[in-house]
Structure 1
Amino acid sequence: MTELSATDPTDPDVDLRIPDQRRELFREHRAVLAVVALGGGLGALGRYGITQAMPTAPGHFPWATFCTNLSGCFAIGILMVLVTEVWSAHRLIRPFLGTGLLGGFTTFSTYTVEIHDLLRPGAAITGLVYLFATLLGALVAVFLGVTCARITFLRKKIRRVQR
Protein backbone atom coordinates (compact mmCIF):
# COMPACT_ATOMS: atom_id res chain seq x y z
CA MET A 1 0.00 0.00 0.00
CA THR A 2 1.36 3.43 -0.91
CA GLU A 3 1.22 6.42 1.32
CA LEU A 4 -0.59 9.57 0.24
CA SER A 5 1.22 12.86 0.37
CA ALA A 6 -0.19 16.35 0.75
CA THR A 7 0.37 16.94 -2.97
CA ASP A 8 -1.65 13.90 -4.08
CA PRO A 9 -5.03 14.82 -5.57
CA THR A 10 -8.14 13.89 -3.61
CA ASP A 11 -9.80 13.02 -6.91
CA PRO A 12 -7.58 10.69 -8.98
CA ASP A 13 -9.11 12.07 -12.20
CA VAL A 14 -7.96 15.61 -11.36
CA ASP A 15 -4.38 16.78 -11.45
CA LEU A 16 -4.32 19.99 -9.40
CA ARG A 17 -0.99 20.96 -10.97
CA ILE A 18 -2.85 21.61 -14.25
CA PRO A 19 -4.55 25.03 -14.11
CA ASP A 20 -7.52 24.03 -16.32
CA GLN A 21 -8.30 21.06 -14.09
CA ARG A 22 -8.06 23.22 -10.94
CA ARG A 23 -10.52 25.71 -12.45
CA GLU A 24 -12.85 22.92 -13.55
CA LEU A 25 -12.85 21.42 -10.05
CA PHE A 26 -13.70 24.82 -8.53
CA ARG A 27 -16.46 25.51 -11.09
CA GLU A 28 -18.13 22.18 -10.39
CA HIS A 29 -17.99 22.55 -6.62
CA ARG A 30 -18.29 26.29 -5.98
CA ALA A 31 -21.97 26.06 -4.98
CA VAL A 32 -21.16 23.34 -2.44
CA LEU A 33 -18.20 25.34 -1.12
CA ALA A 34 -20.39 28.43 -0.80
CA VAL A 35 -23.19 26.72 1.14
CA VAL A 36 -20.73 24.92 3.42
CA ALA A 37 -19.00 28.24 4.17
CA LEU A 38 -22.30 30.04 4.79
CA GLY A 39 -23.65 27.24 6.98
CA GLY A 40 -20.36 26.94 8.87
CA GLY A 41 -20.37 30.65 9.64
CA LEU A 42 -23.95 30.52 10.92
CA GLY A 43 -23.25 27.41 13.00
CA ALA A 44 -20.16 29.01 14.53
CA LEU A 45 -22.20 32.09 15.45
CA GLY A 46 -24.72 29.86 17.22
CA ARG A 47 -21.94 28.11 19.12
CA TYR A 48 -20.41 31.46 20.07
CA GLY A 49 -23.74 32.60 21.46
CA ILE A 50 -24.00 29.52 23.67
CA THR A 51 -20.44 29.93 24.98
CA GLN A 52 -21.21 33.55 25.85
CA ALA A 53 -24.42 32.54 27.64
CA MET A 54 -22.69 29.70 29.55
CA PRO A 55 -19.11 30.75 30.39
CA THR A 56 -16.83 28.12 31.91
CA ALA A 57 -14.40 28.86 34.72
CA PRO A 58 -10.96 27.18 34.39
CA GLY A 59 -10.94 23.68 35.88
CA HIS A 60 -14.74 23.30 35.71
CA PHE A 61 -16.93 21.15 33.49
CA PRO A 62 -17.40 22.94 30.13
CA TRP A 63 -21.18 22.80 29.95
CA ALA A 64 -21.44 25.06 26.90
CA THR A 65 -19.30 22.82 24.70
CA PHE A 66 -20.94 19.70 26.11
CA CYS A 67 -24.46 20.98 25.40
CA THR A 68 -23.45 22.30 21.98
CA ASN A 69 -21.92 19.01 20.88
CA LEU A 70 -24.77 16.86 22.17
CA SER A 71 -27.51 19.05 20.72
CA GLY A 72 -25.60 19.21 17.42
CA CYS A 73 -25.30 15.42 17.34
CA PHE A 74 -29.03 15.08 18.05
CA ALA A 75 -29.76 17.48 15.18
CA ILE A 76 -27.40 15.56 12.87
CA GLY A 77 -29.34 12.36 13.62
CA ILE A 78 -32.61 14.10 12.70
CA LEU A 79 -31.10 15.68 9.59
CA MET A 80 -29.72 12.42 8.24
CA VAL A 81 -33.13 10.75 8.50
CA LEU A 82 -34.79 13.71 6.80
CA VAL A 83 -32.38 13.89 3.86
CA THR A 84 -32.02 10.14 3.34
CA GLU A 85 -35.44 8.71 4.25
CA VAL A 86 -38.06 11.47 4.22
CA TRP A 87 -37.22 14.20 1.72
CA SER A 88 -36.02 14.26 -1.82
CA ALA A 89 -33.65 17.01 -0.77
CA HIS A 90 -31.89 19.46 -3.04
CA ARG A 91 -28.24 18.51 -3.50
CA LEU A 92 -27.08 21.52 -1.45
CA ILE A 93 -29.26 20.88 1.64
CA ARG A 94 -26.99 18.25 3.17
CA PRO A 95 -23.74 20.21 2.68
CA PHE A 96 -25.39 23.40 3.99
CA LEU A 97 -27.11 21.92 7.04
CA GLY A 98 -24.87 18.93 7.84
CA THR A 99 -21.32 19.87 6.92
CA GLY A 100 -21.83 23.62 7.19
CA LEU A 101 -24.35 24.59 9.87
CA LEU A 102 -24.02 21.60 12.20
CA GLY A 103 -20.33 21.13 11.43
CA GLY A 104 -19.73 24.76 12.38
CA PHE A 105 -22.00 24.48 15.41
CA THR A 106 -20.44 21.38 16.95
CA THR A 107 -16.88 21.73 18.14
CA PHE A 108 -14.95 18.60 18.82
CA SER A 109 -11.67 20.47 18.42
CA THR A 110 -12.60 22.67 21.39
CA TYR A 111 -13.63 19.50 23.22
CA THR A 112 -10.11 18.07 22.83
CA VAL A 113 -8.46 21.31 23.96
CA GLU A 114 -10.74 21.44 27.01
CA ILE A 115 -9.92 17.82 27.89
CA HIS A 116 -6.21 18.63 27.61
CA ASP A 117 -6.66 21.62 29.91
CA LEU A 118 -8.67 19.58 32.44
CA LEU A 119 -6.27 16.65 32.58
CA ARG A 120 -4.07 18.40 35.11
CA PRO A 121 -3.74 17.96 38.84
CA GLY A 122 -6.92 19.08 40.56
CA ALA A 123 -9.21 18.72 37.54
CA ALA A 124 -8.25 15.33 36.09
CA ILE A 125 -11.43 13.63 37.32
CA THR A 126 -13.52 16.36 35.69
CA GLY A 127 -11.52 15.91 32.49
CA LEU A 128 -12.10 12.16 32.42
CA VAL A 129 -15.81 12.56 33.16
CA TYR A 130 -16.04 15.15 30.37
CA LEU A 131 -14.11 12.89 27.97
CA PHE A 132 -16.35 9.87 28.43
CA ALA A 133 -19.63 11.74 28.97
CA THR A 134 -19.20 13.57 25.67
CA LEU A 135 -18.27 10.42 23.72
CA LEU A 136 -21.17 8.42 25.11
CA GLY A 137 -23.54 11.38 25.04
CA ALA A 138 -22.77 12.17 21.39
CA LEU A 139 -23.46 8.60 20.30
CA VAL A 140 -26.69 8.46 22.31
CA ALA A 141 -27.74 11.88 20.95
CA VAL A 142 -27.32 10.76 17.32
CA PHE A 143 -29.23 7.55 18.06
CA LEU A 144 -32.05 9.49 19.75
CA GLY A 145 -32.16 12.01 16.91
CA VAL A 146 -32.46 9.22 14.33
CA THR A 147 -35.07 7.38 16.41
CA CYS A 148 -37.18 10.47 17.12
CA ALA A 149 -37.07 11.54 13.48
CA ARG A 150 -38.10 8.10 12.26
CA ILE A 151 -40.96 7.88 14.74
CA THR A 152 -42.17 11.41 13.99
CA PHE A 153 -41.68 11.77 10.25
CA LEU A 154 -41.97 8.24 8.94
CA ARG A 155 -45.13 7.57 10.97
CA LYS A 156 -46.73 10.63 9.34
CA LYS A 157 -45.55 9.44 5.93
CA ILE A 158 -47.05 5.96 6.50
CA ARG A 159 -50.39 7.49 7.57
CA ARG A 160 -50.53 9.57 4.39
CA VAL A 161 -49.86 6.51 2.23
CA GLN A 162 -52.55 4.48 4.02
CA ARG A 163 -55.24 7.13 3.35
Structure 2
Amino acid sequence: MTKKIKSFDKIDFKIINELYKDVRISASKIARTIGVNERTVRRRIDKLIESKAIRIATIIEPSMFGYNSIADINLKVEDSVFDKFVESCKKNPNVCYIAFGWGKANLAIETRFLDNEEMYNFINHTLPETEGVEVINFFIIPKIIYNIDQWLPVESDFKD
Protein backbone atom coordinates (compact mmCIF):
# COMPACT_ATOMS: atom_id res chain seq x y z
CA MET A 1 0.00 0.00 0.00
CA THR A 2 1.30 3.44 -0.91
CA LYS A 3 2.03 5.73 2.02
CA LYS A 4 0.57 9.23 1.91
CA ILE A 5 3.27 11.89 1.89
CA LYS A 6 1.36 14.44 3.97
CA SER A 7 -1.57 14.13 6.32
CA PHE A 8 -4.47 16.50 5.85
CA ASP A 9 -7.70 16.81 7.79
CA LYS A 10 -11.36 17.52 7.07
CA ILE A 11 -10.83 21.30 7.30
CA ASP A 12 -8.25 21.02 4.52
CA PHE A 13 -10.77 18.94 2.56
CA LYS A 14 -13.43 21.64 2.92
CA ILE A 15 -10.98 24.39 1.92
CA ILE A 16 -9.83 22.42 -1.14
CA ASN A 17 -13.44 21.86 -2.19
CA GLU A 18 -14.25 25.56 -1.92
CA LEU A 19 -11.14 26.48 -3.92
CA TYR A 20 -12.06 23.82 -6.49
CA LYS A 21 -15.45 25.47 -7.00
CA ASP A 22 -13.89 28.94 -7.38
CA VAL A 23 -10.13 29.45 -7.07
CA ARG A 24 -10.73 33.21 -6.75
CA ILE A 25 -12.90 32.85 -3.64
CA SER A 26 -11.72 34.92 -0.68
CA ALA A 27 -10.43 33.35 2.51
CA SER A 28 -13.13 35.22 4.41
CA LYS A 29 -15.88 33.64 2.29
CA ILE A 30 -14.36 30.18 2.71
CA ALA A 31 -14.19 30.79 6.48
CA ARG A 32 -17.88 31.75 6.60
CA THR A 33 -18.90 28.80 4.42
CA ILE A 34 -17.04 26.12 6.39
CA GLY A 35 -17.36 27.72 9.82
CA VAL A 36 -13.75 28.39 10.79
CA ASN A 37 -11.65 31.49 11.45
CA GLU A 38 -10.40 33.43 8.41
CA ARG A 39 -6.83 33.38 9.73
CA THR A 40 -7.05 29.58 9.96
CA VAL A 41 -8.17 29.41 6.33
CA ARG A 42 -5.31 31.65 5.18
CA ARG A 43 -2.77 29.62 7.16
CA ARG A 44 -4.19 26.34 5.81
CA ILE A 45 -4.12 27.56 2.20
CA ASP A 46 -0.49 28.65 2.67
CA LYS A 47 0.33 25.21 4.14
CA LEU A 48 -1.42 23.41 1.27
CA ILE A 49 0.53 25.45 -1.28
CA GLU A 50 3.85 25.15 0.56
CA SER A 51 3.47 21.37 0.89
CA LYS A 52 2.62 21.20 -2.84
CA ALA A 53 -0.70 19.51 -2.07
CA ILE A 54 -2.32 22.20 -4.24
CA ARG A 55 -1.18 24.62 -6.90
CA ILE A 56 -3.00 27.84 -7.62
CA ALA A 57 -2.68 28.17 -11.37
CA THR A 58 -4.35 29.44 -14.50
CA ILE A 59 -5.53 26.56 -16.65
CA ILE A 60 -5.40 27.35 -20.35
CA GLU A 61 -7.95 25.80 -22.67
CA PRO A 62 -5.86 25.00 -25.79
CA SER A 63 -8.90 24.59 -28.05
CA MET A 64 -9.77 28.26 -27.51
CA PHE A 65 -6.47 29.07 -29.24
CA GLY A 66 -7.09 26.63 -32.08
CA TYR A 67 -5.05 23.68 -30.74
CA ASN A 68 -7.57 20.96 -31.52
CA SER A 69 -5.32 18.22 -32.92
CA ILE A 70 -4.19 16.16 -29.92
CA ALA A 71 -1.91 13.13 -29.78
CA ASP A 72 -0.48 11.10 -26.91
CA ILE A 73 2.85 9.67 -28.04
CA ASN A 74 4.89 6.93 -26.37
CA LEU A 75 8.59 7.04 -27.17
CA LYS A 76 11.74 5.03 -26.60
CA VAL A 77 14.52 7.55 -26.04
CA GLU A 78 18.12 6.40 -25.71
CA ASP A 79 19.88 7.32 -22.47
CA SER A 80 22.58 9.22 -24.35
CA VAL A 81 20.07 11.79 -25.67
CA PHE A 82 17.33 11.52 -23.04
CA ASP A 83 17.97 14.73 -21.06
CA LYS A 84 18.63 16.79 -24.18
CA PHE A 85 15.45 15.47 -25.82
CA VAL A 86 13.33 16.20 -22.73
CA GLU A 87 14.67 19.77 -22.66
CA SER A 88 13.78 20.19 -26.34
CA CYS A 89 10.27 18.91 -25.62
CA LYS A 90 9.88 21.43 -22.77
CA LYS A 91 10.71 24.21 -25.23
CA ASN A 92 8.36 22.90 -27.92
CA PRO A 93 5.05 24.82 -27.72
CA ASN A 94 3.20 21.77 -29.05
CA VAL A 95 4.26 19.55 -26.14
CA CYS A 96 2.08 20.06 -23.07
CA TYR A 97 2.87 16.98 -20.96
CA ILE A 98 6.00 14.88 -20.45
CA ALA A 99 6.29 11.80 -18.22
CA PHE A 100 8.60 8.84 -17.66
CA GLY A 101 7.23 5.51 -18.82
CA TRP A 102 7.89 1.84 -18.07
CA GLY A 103 7.86 -0.94 -20.58
CA LYS A 104 8.74 -0.57 -24.24
CA ALA A 105 8.35 3.21 -24.03
CA ASN A 106 10.35 5.21 -21.51
CA LEU A 107 8.81 8.61 -22.26
CA ALA A 108 5.23 9.73 -22.83
CA ILE A 109 4.30 13.11 -24.26
CA GLU A 110 1.00 14.79 -24.96
CA THR A 111 0.99 17.14 -27.92
CA ARG A 112 -1.44 19.68 -29.32
CA PHE A 113 -1.35 21.14 -32.79
CA LEU A 114 -3.26 23.71 -34.81
CA ASP A 115 -4.02 21.14 -37.48
CA ASN A 116 -3.60 17.49 -38.39
CA GLU A 117 -0.87 18.19 -40.92
CA GLU A 118 1.40 19.68 -38.24
CA MET A 119 0.65 16.68 -36.02
CA TYR A 120 1.32 14.24 -38.85
CA ASN A 121 4.68 15.86 -39.64
CA PHE A 122 5.74 15.81 -35.99
CA ILE A 123 4.83 12.14 -35.48
CA ASN A 124 6.02 10.85 -38.87
CA HIS A 125 9.01 13.07 -39.61
CA THR A 126 10.29 15.20 -36.73
CA LEU A 127 10.34 12.47 -34.09
CA PRO A 128 11.63 9.58 -36.27
CA GLU A 129 14.34 11.84 -37.68
CA THR A 130 15.53 12.75 -34.18
CA GLU A 131 18.62 10.72 -33.29
CA GLY A 132 18.03 8.27 -30.44
CA VAL A 133 14.23 8.64 -30.51
CA GLU A 134 11.81 5.93 -31.61
CA VAL A 135 8.02 6.30 -31.75
CA ILE A 136 6.59 3.19 -30.05
CA ASN A 137 2.95 4.13 -30.56
CA PHE A 138 0.59 7.07 -30.50
CA PHE A 139 -3.07 7.81 -29.99
CA ILE A 140 -4.96 10.54 -31.76
CA ILE A 141 -7.28 12.10 -29.19
CA PRO A 142 -10.50 13.47 -30.71
CA LYS A 143 -11.85 14.68 -27.35
CA ILE A 144 -10.62 14.76 -23.77
CA ILE A 145 -13.41 13.65 -21.48
CA TYR A 146 -11.82 14.14 -18.05
CA ASN A 147 -8.56 15.92 -17.24
CA ILE A 148 -6.23 16.28 -14.25
CA ASP A 149 -7.57 19.74 -13.45
CA GLN A 150 -10.95 18.09 -12.75
CA TRP A 151 -9.62 15.49 -10.27
CA LEU A 152 -10.18 15.77 -6.52
CA PRO A 153 -9.15 13.52 -3.63
CA VAL A 154 -12.01 11.83 -1.77
CA GLU A 155 -13.06 12.78 1.74
CA SER A 156 -11.68 9.53 3.17
CA ASP A 157 -8.18 10.73 2.18
CA PHE A 158 -8.49 13.28 5.02
CA LYS A 159 -8.28 12.44 8.72
CA ASP A 160 -10.93 13.54 11.21
Q: TM-score range by the shorter chain?
A: under 0.3
TM-score by length of 2: 0.23
TM-score by length of 1: 0.23
Structure with greater strand percent: 2
